Amino acid sequence: MSIGYVAAQENDITIRVNISGLDSDKGKVMVALYKRAENFPKKPIIRKAAFIKKNTASISFENVEAGMYAIMCFHDKNENKKIDFSVLGRPKERIAASNNAKGRFGPPKFKEAKFSVQDKITTHNIKM
């Protein structure tokens, strides 16, 4: 399932994303791809949902341009397609980013999560 759009001209580059460390197979992993720091983490260029099997999930973003990207994902256990928060503003669902970047008092910064895509196939591993 793919939600969103590719904002750039199509190429034959693929970004493969492997997510590990999920605490159950319940729900899906929502994965978002970003190309610009000013859009991170609110306005991705592409969003996809990945099925979970044996506490891992994998998904690919095809036809992307070479360049810098960042990924944010979360374990959407209740499949409502949004991150649920507690009354204190803490996420109830696990969140992760490319480069396994961690934020302090919020999401990580784009500069911590960004990675370069130049090869025809780039694989990125993220641990929840």
pLDDT, one tens digit per residue, over 53-112 is 999 999 999 999 999 999 999 999 999 999 999 998 888 999 999 999 998 877 899 999
Q: Find the Cα–Cα–Cα–Cα dihedral 71, 76, 79, 82, rounded to 10°.
A: -60
Report, at the CATH architecture level, how domain 2-127 is classified: Sandwich (2.60)
2-22 pLDDT, tens per residue?
A: 444 444 444 789 999 999 999
Residues sharing a CB contact under 8 Å with residue 38, sequence separation 6 or more, in sequence order: none
How much is the pLDDT for 2?
A: 45
Burial string for 88-118 (b: 16+ CB within 10 Å, else e) reads eeeeebbbbbbbebeeeeebbbbeebbeebe
Return the structure tokens found at 49: 């949902």
